[in-house]
Chains A and B, each alone.
Chain A
């Protein structure tokens, strides 16, 4: 009789002299071996051919997953789920940011009703999914976390791509269903090995942008299943995504700051010119650091000037005061402030006594802060980049960007945060940009990229 075992990310079969692809004879250990994701195909094949066999590989279990959160799925969410079911509970759903991909995943988990692993790209998303799953299923199952200092495996576990790459081979037999959030990360060479280590016969991939410049999306059908449903932002705009107003506030430096800035700028620009260094890309910046740190004449001064210049720009006094004004104006509107750095988040959190959320914030505290923000117990929160890339912030009415980099993707996704549909609401996005400095240019570039 054929017996199947799970062994360190692979499926091992004994009791047969020959097994079909993708099994190969492993001469190293004298066993038939296949990647773990051959499990679905193997077991179905054996069943259909009525070959007697014993499955000692899978240790996943049925879990009564019934969401406690009342949900009325939007029509496209229902369609997406239907398409995914028709393809054998396997495939990728493409929906724009803010269209409620998470809700589709929660319904899919209810449908499968077995141990589930959710794989996400960032620690911020790890914490966000923890919070969503805790709300939905926390009454019946404990939600586990793997990554970011957490190592608790339960039948409903959230992990990161990085942690899954390292640990999946130890737990790959425990999950029947795997959800890949932001599934466009999965075809990256390192991540592509993750599905191979998981038995999980069912999978769901979620993303707004499946295409990869390296063509990796062609691997998706193998890794998570083909695209089973797709909607573009245009399909949903108006009906489901709220329009918003963009307000740009230029921040003038004070006379004193302007003086300091001009001095630092002169030292820095002189050095660039002397060494004929361009400054157009992040690589140029690294080159500057390298040249300045090894130069004996004026390198150190140039480094300090560059730092000072940036400090003045980011810490512009009027920026803080303007933020204070906005806080006062929108104290009843639920405001979310995006700061440039983690340090800035904590400095402003201390200054204005509003909660800060960064990648350092522990999962439970983060959930508590966002929950309280959602029900209005906190009026404003301040966050660093953690709230990027698909992280939900429910119903923020006002967003403020203190300083951002010129990436188009980042900008659009940040906007996605306040594009939540809400009855009769017009969201406002403020962008505070220091005038007469490089930041102005960054903001213009970003706006052009967006429109």
Chain B
């Protein structure tokens, strides 16, 4: 993430256009590559040196990239590289003990330690330092006494990205930077976007949502608990953290009210036109669950007899706003004879807490007249005990694959 001083955007008739670099522009890629080189070349060296070199690069590379904003662009790119760096301590001995001893010895002298030896033979700076050297075995206490300062840290490791990746990260980071000043965020989710993923991030970030059905999708309005007492930018940081999560899926349209330099402005994005790439990997549970769900669809298609039941992908979102969550089932099962609708959710990785929460939501959904099945794999969970406990609450357990038969018998 960038600091606010790195964030740049243009205001055009009330609309914000965040600054962007082209990942195809050779000039841009050269600068990105040069910065990566600089970091890579400094592995094992102190931070202060790297920072000095970066400052020089700002002056060299910046103006060529953009006359006015070049400095800031280079600074922003290096900030993003810093996130890929690991820092280590420089020396074995403890600089705090070292300098404390130095100060104590110096303060105990009847006069300040002299800088050079004179006729009066007052103790010198060198005398103090060599006494400490003898006591501690540290060769040069004068040089090491502040070795724990940040600038003395060593660049221990650097995860070097390809220049294109850095530029793409920059483009997302600039939009995130604009969102720091956002008061709310409205996302229109069209058919095909993964609402479960989105609610995962809503919940993770402690945001509050309002859900409104649209034709062929949903409108999700996001802000925080205090927003109801008046618009606040307090949740801007979290809305910014939400964005890369949203970028994991599509299609959607986003619009945010932003307080930009004391003016009201709007940021708008369309997933089909952004060309943005996220750096989030997505929740692990969801990555696993994808395979299990595909396997189930195949199993259903191969099944000889599914009675009157038909399987459809997608389902209605069941919101539980007071719990700050929602159920987003994967499938709808329709009984063509009776017209009965049952929704099915297949869990990926689950924890005991997930199951307990699911059972509570199932009960509440039942109270609202919805019939819902939640299937959980024995393999993808943490506690067999919890799973058998949850069976009574309506959770359907399965081993490696969820079979059509198991679902059908649960439906009966």
Residues on A close to B: CB < 8 A? 7-10, 22, 24, 26-31, 33, 35, 165-166, 169, 190, 193, 196-197, 290, 293-294, 300, 303, 324, 327-328, 331, 346, 349-355, 360, 365, 368, 377-380
B229 engages A30 (CB within 8 Å): no
- Tell me if B's interface is mostly helix, strand, loop or mixed: helix
Question: Which residues in chain B, 191-220, are within 8 Å of chain A measured between CB atoms?
Answer: 206, 208-210
Question: Which residues in chain B, 97-153, are within 8 Å of chain A measured between CB atoms?
Answer: 99-100, 102-107, 110-113, 115, 125, 128-129, 142, 145-146, 149-150
Residues of A within 8 A of B232 (CB): 193
* Complex CA distance for A34 and B208, rounded to whole angstroms: 15
Interface range on chain B (Cβ under 8 Å from partner): 35 or more
Residues of B within 8 A of A9 (CB): 225-226
Residues on B close to A: CB < 8 A? 59, 62-63, 67-68, 70-71, 96, 99-100, 102-107, 110-113, 115, 125, 128-129, 142, 145-146, 149-150, 206, 208-210, 224-226, 228-229, 232-234, 237, 321-322, 324
Q: Which residue of A lies closest to B106 (CB)?
A: A353
* Complex CA distance for A360 and B229, rounded to whole angstroms: 38
B68 engages A290 (CB within 8 Å): yes
Instruction: State the Cβ distance, A360 to closest chain B Cβ, in Å.
Output: 6
* Complex CA distance for A166 and B229, rounded to whole angstroms: 18
Cβ-defined partner of A28 (8 Å) among B125, B128, B228: B228
The residue in B70, B234, B321 that gathers the most chain A C-beta atoms within 10 A of its C-beta is: B234
Task: Offer 13 A-B interface pairs, CB within 8 angstroms, sorted by A.
Answer: A35-B226, A190-B233, A193-B232, A294-B67, A331-B112, A350-B145, A352-B113, A353-B125, A355-B99, A355-B103, A368-B100, A378-B107, A379-B107
Q: Which residue of B lies closest to A329 (CB)?
A: B112
A327 engages B112 (CB within 8 Å): yes
A365 engages B63 (CB within 8 Å): no
Cβ-defined partner of A352 (8 Å) among B71, B99, B104, B112: B112
Instruction: Answer whether A353 and B225 are a contact pair too, CB < 8 Å, given A300-B59, A360-B149.
Output: no
* Complex CA distance for A41 and B142, rounded to whole angstroms: 59
Q: Which residue of A lies closest to B149 (CB)?
A: A360
Instruction: State the Cβ distance, A196 to closest chain B Cβ, in Å.
Output: 6
* Complex CA distance for A380 and B111, rounded to whole angstroms: 12
The residue in A29, A349, A353 that gathers the most chain B C-beta atoms within 10 A of its C-beta is: A353
Cβ-defined partner of B206 (8 Å) among A8, A24, A31, A353: A8
Q: Which residue of B lies closest to A166 (CB)?
A: B237
Q: Which residue of B lies closest to A346 (CB)?
A: B146
Instruction: State the Cβ distance, A195 to closest chain B Cβ, in Å.
Output: 12
* Complex CA distance for A204 and B103, rounded to whole angstroms: 39
* Complex CA distance for A24 and B228, rounded to whole angstroms: 8
Cβ-defined partner of A26 (8 Å) among B112, B150, B228, B234: B228
Q: Which residue of A lies closest to B208 (CB)?
A: A28
